Amino acid sequence: MMSNIPFFDYASLYPAHKDEYSEAIENVLSRGAFIMQSELFEFEDKLSNYLDVKHAIGVADGTTALLLSLRASEIQAYDEVIVPSHTFAACASTITQIGAVPILCDCCEDHLIDPESVEKLINGKTKAIMPVHLNGRTANMDKILELAHSKKLLIIEDACQALGSSFKNTFAGKFGLAGAFSFYPSKTLGCFGDGGAIITNDDEIARKIKLFRDHGRNEEGDIEVWGNNARLDNLQAAVLLIRLKYYDEEIMHRRLLANRYEERLGNIEALKLPPAPDSSKDHYDIFQNYEIEAKNRDALKKFLSEKKVGTILPWGGYCLHNFNKLNLTGHYDYTEKMRKELLLLPLNSSIAIEEIDLVCDYVECFYNL
């Protein structure tokens, strides 16, 4: 069998439910229902039901979701916000966009925010913590919540990779003041362009975010604050309504594939795999990504690429503290050690279990097993 397993096959998204998408798009286009129309509000309703949260607000993308969440909070210019170094640039950039200062912390063995590292960085200027629930796993929030309560810090969550993932039966995005989600096409709930959402149980935060996303205008058309254009397209909302219907299937398939990786690669000493789907009763992981640590990573990546198996280095191989021109400071020993071995293996709904087996055959072959 000759493999051709791209890391993510964008062209597979539309055919998956082509008739339903075509019908929904046709419907929106023929009504001329482009901006702030019924599909947007219906999607917000369905999303808030799915996550059992009071408000879900559609916005332009995940980065905007972070920015508006930060803006709506009480974080002021020069306040410090602690965020893991192993994350996307958008986390730190949005903190700087409100005039605050990102302080980088280390991560734990599961690659998520390390509360001990956070604790060491807290000082009089610290105002908030931004946990990032990477790869579809919710961070262990016990200690983070404890720190936030005892030091009176806000929590704004980056849940862009973790829709439906939970820790101790609480969904990612519901631990703090607000949680941000992305619907970038390769996300577990991806649309056909850019999209994002914010969830919150706080009425006042929700009200502010709705103002910010639409030029500061309230329902009467009165401009109360300086806002922006940060709306989620109605056409994308129509697509998301369809994708949300199949979301549980999507996650089940991903967990099935993750289980197979675990069965096949779990005993290879040169690898450190993410926690397996049912390895902890506290975590429900949705496997946005399958992020491993691999000895001799660059050679493994090259070997797999020759076999036409697509893999990716997270953030192109760099954590935030590696971008020297950004001058970010903090503590990140584990992050720096692990980042040279990080590799994302293919895992998504367009990949069959037989293809995972093939990837595993190649990995075994690479390590001479």
Ligand X SMILES: *Cc1c(COP(=O)(O)O)cnc(C)c1O
Question: Taking the complex as a whole, how short is the minimal distance between the CB of residue 239 and ligand X, in angstroms?
Answer: 14
Residue with Cβ nearer ligand X (29 or 89): 89
- Exposure string over 255-285, b if 16+ CB within 10 A, otherwise e: bebbbbbbebbeebebbbbbeebeeeeebbb
Q: How far does Cα 122 stand from its chain's mean position? A: 25
End-to-end CA distance of the chain: 20
CB of 60 to ligand X, least distance (A): 8
Q: Residue 52: how many CB atoms within 10 A of its CB? A: 11
Q: What binding mask, one character per residue, do residues 319-348 give for ligand X by CB under 6 A, x or -? A: ------------------------------
What Rg value do the Cα atoms of the chain yield, rounded?
21
Binding segment for ligand X (CB under 6 A), chosen from 13-21, 102-110, 153-161, 271-279, is: 153-161
- Find the residue with minimal CB distance to ligand X: 62
Applying CB under 6 A, the span of 14-22, 156-164, 218-226, 339-347 interacting with ligand X comes to 156-164
Instruction: With CB under 6 A as the rule, give the number of residues binding ligand X.
Output: 16
Label the pairing between strands 154-158 and 126-129: parallel
Instruction: Determine the interface stretch with ligand X among 59-67, 168-176, 201-209, 227-235 (rule: CB under 6 A).
Output: 59-67
Q: Supply 210's token pair.
A: 């709705």
What are residue 40's phi and psi, to 5 degrees? -60, -50
Taking contact as CB under 6 A, which single stretch among the options 6-14, 155-163, 228-236, 343-351 is the one that binds ligand X? 155-163
Decide if residue 315 touches ligand X (CB under 6 A).
Answer: no
Candidates 37-45, 82-90, 110-118, 163-171; binding stretch for ligand X (CB under 6 A): 82-90
Output the smallest distance, CB 157 to ligand X, in A: 10
Instruction: Look up residue 341 and give its two tokens.
Output: 């071995």
Can residue 200 be called a binding residue for ligand X (CB under 6 A)? no
Under the binding rule (CB under 6 A), the answer on residue 172 touching ligand X is no
- Out of 21, 43, 88, 247, which residue is the one contacting ligand X (CB under 6 A)? 88
Min CB(219)–ligand X separation in Å: 27
Structure tokens at 161: 């990779």
Stretch that binds ligand X, among 16-24, 55-63, 236-244, 278-286 (CB under 6 A): 55-63
Determine which residue in the list 48, 69, 73, 87 makes contact with ligand X, applying CB under 6 A: 87
Min CB(64)–ligand X separation in Å: 7
User: What are residue 338's phi and psi, to 5 degrees?
Assistant: -80, -30
Residues 288 and 321: beta-carbon distance below 8 Å: no
| Pure H helices in 3-101 | 13-16, 18-31, 38-51, 62-72, 89-97
- For the window 125-144, what string marks contact with ligand X as x by the rule CB under 6 A? -------x-x----------
| Cα angle 40, 71, 284; round to 5 | 65
- Of the candidates 75, 74, 47, which has an alpha carbon nearest to the alpha carbon of residue 59? 47
In the complex, the smallest distance separating the C-beta of residue 26 from ligand X, rounded to whole angstroms, is 26
Distance CA 178, CA 62 (A): 13
* 158 is an interface residue for ligand X by CB under 6 A: yes
Q: Which is nearer to ligand X, 167 or 362 (CB)?
A: 167
What φ, ψ does residue 284 adopt, rounded to 5°?
-120, 110
Report how far residue 5's alpha carbon sits from residue 9's, in angstroms, rounded to the nearest whole number.
8
Query: Does the footprint of ligand X cover residue 318 (CB under 6 A)?
Result: no
Binding site for ligand X (CB under 6 A): 61-63, 87-88, 90-91, 132, 134, 158, 160-161, 182, 184, 194, 196
